Structure 1
């Protein structure tokens, strides 16, 4: 487990600010932008040499319902409809008020990032994500989390919001329900004590802490860790030491479409647009329409913990809007064949079995796994990627008040000035992996970050 260090406040601090934010991923930077807009004196701390976090490893897509971009595209959507989709995917295991707050805040954040900060978001309009009843994924041109991080950082720098890197928070100072500040460790192992009036934990979850993963989610403990190694679980352990409420610590987002051994995320559009997953025998083994989070365990359960994602040139053209997919092609992870036999030979699969798998897909019908298919069948030339399952980030965390993002206390009420957002807070993915709706991670990051920052 992460070692929590909570102590009484020192007699004096080296530096004092109004709002101290720990973690400069998308969550922390959006919190900083919101706090700055509210007129607060802000200091944003980042443990790494440059801001990256889990956001930089994602596709950078944020789901939001009722945005101007949706309306411009002729899409009628609403926060209530989005909330319904979130709860349906999570089997109604989420707190209704938290879901409603995120769904209501998401379009505000997207419109604000576009109109106030000039981020060139656009709507993903050429394919659907499992569980979403409308097209509501918003991303920057490259469909890359790295682009999102860099764009947010550019705004932080343009507004002269102090961002200090190479500063890892190692201790929180508290007196009862009030947080007084934090100690940060510098690269030379010296320390600084920073006092604050408000403290926002935006330091993500605990996926990089293998002991915590094995304890809380043993079924995914052996999977590849595809998140950021800085996700060590400090927020969870600090919360435990402080007497905070924690919830759904077994919840996580997996992904069953990571190119192996290349370690490159392959967009789930390769599946939603009509692709399939087969094992090393060339046979399908589950209903791929359930979602990419559940796919991690499904793939890892196959021989060798791997599978092949099979699609065609039409789908590949859609997937190329993602930088990761183009990178996978450049590195030779995507195999192509003019016929099923050619593809099977390159992939080392039985040609007759793979051919039957493809021809058994019921165009416009429902298959034995319960998946419903569109009318466009796979056709040559074909493509394949060898994939495995991975853990992307944890979804459980500290319980927060949905209207303020203040952390709730185990004995009742909330802390006076402690906030949690993003992976540090309990999200809206239920209590396991099957409740994860596409985009839930960044949804929690941007909405709770916005709420906490503006509080």
Structure 2
């Protein structure tokens, strides 16, 4: 993939076929949440999507969103707060995430999920069977189907019901600004190669990161240069390229979400719940090599550093039952990824390791003392054993345009651009600038909370401008 052509054009006005109060670039969870919230505020918008149908990174995710203080949490008697959530985010990032943005997202994600439920029919369930890495309470939310595809389908259905226009197969190439850095519209290519233009009073970038751009990954994330990319190809770095051309400030370009459980060669995702509840990862030598409970993102780097860049997820019948509750695992199993062994010798033979080494790894789990890496196991694994061969993958990046707590894009000097907003993959997130700073769910947290805040900020700007407009004079 070559670096896309993305430009900033300057003009006092844009000759556009259509005008909207707000233009939204990207129709993933971020863009569609923003569109729904704008609709609720009485603000018209148009969503522009490069693909034939909305999907993007959201559709490829598990669709799990962390949030405190929601209706779903209260119904299950879970005590949580935005402050506790913010502390968990910063603890995982070791304080490297932007405090104001962490606080804004932690405060906004609960109201955002409740608004989507109460006004647009998204019925959230709380995943309370186990704790995701880094979360101190059960706060991961999902729709009943537990997939990103289902989340996108629900958001698109809500957008359709609201009558919000989503223009697909519209590849935005140029952003138009006036001499005062005010966004006035966008130019986009249609399937026939013709450029069309949309004028706007405010612009929201909800488009993408750069995980699908090999040149940018090689430059900015060298440790993942040869890793499998498990994200959406539309993550081509457009937002960063526009930001550089505009003179906007960028942030946390070394941050990303990896995953240490990408099933190979089937190319599917295996849920990390198995690791959190007692499963282990072993390398080709039959040895564990990291504390699996620290998180699936940094696990990608650990797995890739092993011989051949692979590992085996090893677990037993109770954990298999847990795994089968997740559609991503069921897809991997259906593709032939799951292997069953009645003995340690059989498992070792499949892995190509010394059976005595693997037996020692399994025996060490039965001790009450912490492992060398600090992990403490509640129990050992019992035959029959199950194994899935995995590698490390890059899913999406966490760096991008620098924004304030209202999602306004910032100039190099830290001042906000007048009417340009960014969130989701287009903006720097709340994971800091390293892979281990990613707290489970940070991607969709940034998308949904960011879309919610961007809509609120853009709506306030539009409403203020309307109030300041002079009344028309009589002819």
TM-score (norm 2): 0.93
Query: Does residue 104 of structure 2 align to residue 104 of structure 1?
Result: no
Distance in structure 1 (CA, Å) of the matches to 2:154 and 2:312: 35
Distance in structure 2 (CA, Å) of the matches to 1:93 and 1:371: 24
- Map of 1:14 onto structure 2: 17
- Map of 1:260 onto structure 2: 264
- Map of 2:160 onto structure 1: 157
- Map of 2:333 onto structure 1: 329
- Map of 2:239 onto structure 1: 235
Q: Deviations over 1:330-363 (max 9, x none)?
A: 1110111233233333444433222221111145
Once the two structures are TM-superposed, the CA of residue 376 in structure 1 deviates from its matched residue by 2.9
Report if aligned partners of 1:130, 1:438 keep a CA contact under 8 Å in 2.
yes
1:324-403 aligned within 5 A: 324-373=328-377, 375-402=378-405
- Map of 2:470 onto structure 1: none
SS of 1:195 mapped into structure 2? strand
- Map of 1:39 onto structure 2: 42
Q: Deviations over 1:266-317 (max 9, x none)?
A: 1111110101111111111122122111111111111111010111111111
Report if aligned partners of 1:2, 1:209 keep a CA contact under 8 Å in 2.
no
Once the two structures are TM-superposed, the CA of residue 70 in structure 1 deviates from its matched residue by 1.3
Report if aligned partners of 2:62, 2:148 keep a CA contact under 8 Å in 1.
yes
Distance in structure 2 (CA, Å) of the matches to 1:395 and 1:379: 39
Once the two structures are TM-superposed, the CA of residue 240 in structure 1 deviates from its matched residue by 1.2
Distance in structure 2 (CA, Å) of the matches to 1:136 and 1:11: 45
TM-score (norm 1): 0.97
Q: Which stretch of structure 1 is more off in the superposition, 115-124 or 37-46?
A: 115-124
Q: Deviations over 1:147-202 (max 9, x none)?
A: 10111001111111101110010001011320011001001110101100011000
Report if aligned partners of 2:14, 2:184 keep a CA contact under 8 Å in 1.
no
SS of 1:434 mapped into structure 2? helix
Distance 1:229 1:410, change over 3 A: same
Q: Which runs of 5+ in 2 are unaligned?
A: 458-475
SS of 2:361 mapped into structure 1? helix
Q: Which runs of 5+ in 1 are unaligned?
A: none
SS of 2:23 mapped into structure 1? strand
SS of 1:116 mapped into structure 2? helix
1:80-229 aligned within 5 A: 80-175=83-178, 176-229=180-233
Q: Which stretch of structure 1 is more off in the superposition, 343-352 or 312-321?
A: 343-352
Alignment coverage as a number of residue pairs: 453
Distance in structure 1 (CA, Å) of the matches to 2:164 and 2:310: 45
Once the two structures are TM-superposed, the CA of residue 111 in structure 1 deviates from its matched residue by 1.3
What's the RMSD between the two structures over aligned residues? 1.3
* Structure 1 segments of 4+ aligned residues over 6 angstroms from their partners: none
Query: Does residue 311 of structure 2 align to residue 311 of structure 1?
Result: no
1:45-64 aligned within 5 A: 45-64=48-67
Distance in structure 2 (CA, Å) of the matches to 1:87 and 1:306: 30
